[in-house]
């Protein structure tokens, strides 16, 4: 349990990730930032939908994209640390 608590605290350093989402990352088996860096945001989102067996707001996917970027980028760009920067691109 100690590792899970440590991971939750670590995840909360990520902009946009609060206690509840940090706990969900742990429930999904993510063990820390190094582990998160190798994960697919889209897969994490699908796994969360499966875990909760309910629709999940698409904004959670955008937060996961931001979180993976944060985890794998030594000096992240401040503009890319805003979850809305990771929204789906729409073609007009």
Domains of the chain, by residue range, sit at 2-86
SS3 10: helix
Confidence tier at 19 by pLDDT (50, 70, 90): very high
Give the distance, in angstroms, between the CA of residue 56 and the centroid of all CA atoms in the same chain. 13
Q: Containing H/E element for 41? A: helix 41-52
* CA triple 68-54-90, angle to 5 deg: 55
Give the C-alpha separation, 31 to 59, whole Å. 22
Structure tokens at 31: 């063990």
pTM over 0.95: no
% residues pLDDT > 90 (the chain): 87
Q: Helices 19-27 & 41-52, crossing angle to 10 degrees?
A: 90
């Amino acid at each position: 349990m100690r590792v899970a608590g440590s991971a939750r605290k670590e995840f909360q350093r990520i902009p946009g990730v609060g206690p509840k989402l940090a706990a969900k990352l742990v429930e999904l088996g993510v063990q820390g930032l190094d582990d998160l860096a190798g994960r697919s945001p889209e897969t994490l989102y699908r796994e969360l939908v499966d875990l909760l067996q309910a629709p999940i707001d698409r904004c959670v996917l955008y937060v996961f994209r931001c979180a993976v970027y944060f985890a794998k980028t030594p000096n992240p760009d401040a503009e890319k640390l805003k979850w809305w920067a990771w929204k789906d691109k729409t073609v007009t």
